[in-house]
Amino acid sequence: MVEYRTGRIYQSDIDMILNNVSYRGKFDGKLSAKLKRDFINYHREYNKLCKERKFNDSLLGTVQIVEVQKHSGSHTGVAGAKWLVANLFTQYPINSDWDIETDYLSLKQCFLYLRTVCNATYFATKNDYWTLAVEYKIGCDDGRGNWKIIKKMIDDIFGKEEHIKVLIMTGGNTPCAIEN
C-alpha cells in the first residue's frame, strides 16, 4: 500500500525511514543532514561502511539498515526513541565535482530488497505490517531523478503489499496540491 501523508518524516508513526545516499561517505541531501544531526550513531555507521567498501560503486543497489536513537539535544521526535533508517545506496557521481545522480536500477534493487525483508519479518512489527517513510520526490532534487519514474517504481513494488505501507511524506504541502 502506498499513500501520501502531509507532514514531516519525524512526525509520523513509522518503523523505518528510507534515505537515498551515495557511496562517497558524505551526505548530499537535506534528509541525510537531519538524520546526522538528530541520531547519535547514524553518520558513524554510514561512514564506516563506505570506508570498508573503499568508497566505490560496489555499494550501489545495496541497503544498510541502521538502528538509530534520538539524542537528548534533538529538536524533533522523542529523545531516546529508536527507529530504523535504511540507507539506499542509489546515487553516484557524474563528474569530478561529485555532483550526484540517482541510478534507477540501484533504487529498484533497494526497494525489492526491502520488500523481501519486510515480507519475511512483518510478524515482528507492532501492527503486523511495516510502515516505511520516504520523502516526497526521493532521489529527485539533489539526485536529479524523475519523480514520475520513481513514483511508478514505488507503486509497482509496494502498491499491492498487504504487510508494507509506504508513506510518501509531503512536508508542509498537501497531497492534493502535489498530485495536481
**Residue-wise pLDDT tens digits, 101-130:** 899 999 999 999 999 999 999 887 778 899
Give the pLDDT mean for 143-157.
Answer: 95
What are the cell numbers at 180?
A: 495536481
CA dist., res. 70 & res. 85, Å (int): 12
Residue 33 burial (CB count, 10 A): 12
The per-residue pLDDT for range 24-70, each reduced to its tens digit, is 877 766 788 888 888 878 889 999 999 999 998 999 999 999 998 76
3-state secondary structure the chain: CEEEECECHHHCCCCEEEEEEECCCCCCCHHHHHHHHHECCHHHHHHHHHHHCCCCHHHCCCEEEEEEEECCCCCCCCCCCEEEEEEEEEEEECCCCCCEEECHHHHHHHHHHHHHHHHHHHHHCCCCCEEEEEECCCCCCCCCCCHHHHHHHHHHHHCCCCCEEEEEECECCCHHHHHC
**Per-residue pLDDT band at 177 (split at 50, 70, 90):** very low
d(CA 33, CA 165): 25
Q: What structural domains and CATH numbers belong to the chain?
A: 2-179 (3.40.220.10)
Dihedral angle, C-alpha 24, 116, 12, 176, nearest 10 °: 90
